[in-house]
Structure 1
Amino acid sequence: MSETIVAVDRALDVLLLLYNNGQEIGVSEIGRELGLHKSTVHRTLATLENKGFVHQNRENGKYWLGTKIYAMGLRVGEKLSLVDIIRPYAKELFDEFQEVVNVSILDKDSHDGYKTIIILKEVDTNKVLSVNPNIGSSSDAHASSVGKCLLAFSKDIDFNKISNNHLKKHTENTLSNKDELIKELKKVKEDGYAIDDEEQELGLYCIGAPILDKNGDAIAAISMSGPTARMKRQDINDKILKVVETAKEISLATRQLR
């Protein structure tokens, strides 16, 4: 067996251990369980973390599976109970307003700033937006309503990881200054929802709200988006209230998973 295959086998053993354990594990415990030296475990975890397959909790130093595992599962059609629970609520929101509905999670493992990953989508294929990403695709968290909700309501956000270099300016409306972003996130937490007013794409307006666990931490976020003129033309307050209401209903429904 070549050294390359041994290294891959070792990495897969680490992922399977994390999966089967069902909770965060420290380096020493991983080493004991797999009979590996700490230095070997460190190198393996560093490689996996660099690719987004594991995530380190900076508060306790322990590791858990990363959101790339989640995204890959979605790409190959794996059904997750979270998605199954959310789907009817997303469909109801779409049916009422006939605007694109997305549900996203936060990718904390990206080395290019925080990203969001779409896990569920409701869309009318006859209404095509110029930006209509597929399930499993990622985008900059700072430039979307779901991203701002996830940053505002998620625990373990390392603002030292966010620099102005990571805040890509997609349009003139994009928040590209760290201090301005932090100020916006405080407002999002106070309001309970976020707006993307042509920050990701000119002509696109989006309303997002967080899906929260019993501790008030975001496990996902839901959004409704469409052309700015149509979204703002009528019933904008009704749309905001409905997105927030839907997120709260989903939050209650998903707590059975926690």
Structure 2
Amino acid sequence: MAETIQSVDRALEVLIYLEAADQETSITKMASDMGVYKSTIYRTLATLEARGFVRKNPDTDRYWLGNRLFSLGKSVENHLGIQEVVRPSARKLYEAYHETVNVAILERDHDEVYRSVIVLKEEGGHQMLTVNLPVGASVECHSTSGGKCLLAFGRNIDLSVYEKRPLHAYTDRTITSATELRAELEQVRRQGYAMDRDEMEHGLTCIGVPILREDGTALAAISLSGPTSRMLSGDLDERVEAVKRIAREIAARF
């Protein structure tokens, strides 16, 4: 067996443990489960937190994986060509309607706000609206169709965060209360898709559908976005079904 560095090995064990736990976890529980002194776990987490590999919830003093791992994961994803698995379906949806198609995943930032991060985009060369976020950009989930899907179908979502801080209003149509958001997400779960009507930008309407894992939770979300005048021109139901069909097609590949 090759010689290993104990401190590095311990840090990797902590990351693997948190990934398997799939939720924020206390130092006490980690130490107990891993059979390690609390002081050792504390020092390991402090080092990982300083580098962005884990994050601490200031309200609960519990830890989970940090945003730095997303950057590393994206590098691996690009190398392995996972985006190219999704791209043909996203391109198919774009070619059917010639509206912008985004695929996004869920992220929680350092302020504990849930954000929708764009990992793939299909679009034409001409954009009429001002909101045209590039791959890697993120926006608060409550204001977008894809973000709503990620919240409605996400794992271990803590909606109480929206009771502790105001929801940013991008337009006068944006959801700004936790009560309204909860009701909206319940409707998203019932119908299997979400809408954003002028909530991010006036004149922009989006249809979002979750890309589901086998357990029914969202791996990602796909959305079709365009000028409200076109998106609501009479074939909305057809567009919704088209996005749902593409989401199922993508999910079948994972």
Q: Same fold (TM over 0.5)?
A: yes
- Does 1:125 find its partner at 2:125? yes
Aligned-residue sequence identity (percent) comes to 39
Which of residues 28, 43, 46 is equivalent to 2:31? 28
Q: Cα distance 1:103–1:24, how it changes in 2: closer, same or farther (>3 A)?
A: same
Listed as ranges, the matches of 1:67-216 within 5 Å are 67-71=67-71, 73-74=73-74, 78-80=78-80, 82-163=82-163, 165-216=165-216
The number of equivalent residue pairs is 239
What CA deviation, in whole Å up to 9, does each residue of 1:51-71 have, x standing for no partner?
Answer: 8633689xxx99664454224
Between 242-251 and 45-54, the greater mean CA deviation after superposition: 45-54
**d(CA) in 2 for partners of 1:80, 1:128:** 34
Q: Cα distance 1:179–1:98, how it changes in 2: closer, same or farther (>3 A)?
A: same
**d(CA) in 2 for partners of 1:123, 1:147:** 19
Q: Cα distance 1:63–1:198, how it changes in 2: closer, same or farther (>3 A)?
A: same
In 2, are the aligned partners of 1:102 and 1:120 still within 8 Å (CA)? Answer: yes
TM-score normalised per structure 1 = 0.78
> Given residue 162 of structure 1, which amino acid in structure 2 is its aligned partner?
Y
Q: Cα distance 1:163–1:53, how it changes in 2: closer, same or farther (>3 A)?
A: farther
Between 201-210 and 72-81, the greater mean CA deviation after superposition: 72-81
Describe the SS at the equivalent of 1:24.
helix
What CA deviation, in whole Å up to 9, does each residue of 1:167-216 have, x standing for no partner?
Answer: 11111111110011000000000000000001111111100000000110
> Given residue 24 of structure 1, which amino acid in structure 2 is its aligned partner?
A
Describe the SS at the equivalent of 1:121.
strand
**d(CA) in 2 for partners of 1:51, 1:183:** 37
Q: Cα distance 1:245–1:51, how it changes in 2: closer, same or farther (>3 A)?
A: farther
In 2, are the aligned partners of 1:52 and 1:109 still within 8 Å (CA)? Answer: no
Which residue pairs with 2:26 in the alignment?
none
Which residue pairs with 1:227 in the alignment?
227
What CA deviation, in whole Å up to 9, does each residue of 1:112-147 have, x standing for no partner?
Answer: 421111111111122253111111111100000011
In 2, are the aligned partners of 1:52 and 1:66 still within 8 Å (CA)? Answer: yes
In 2, are the aligned partners of 1:146 and 1:222 still within 8 Å (CA)? Answer: yes
- Does 1:243 find its partner at 2:246? no
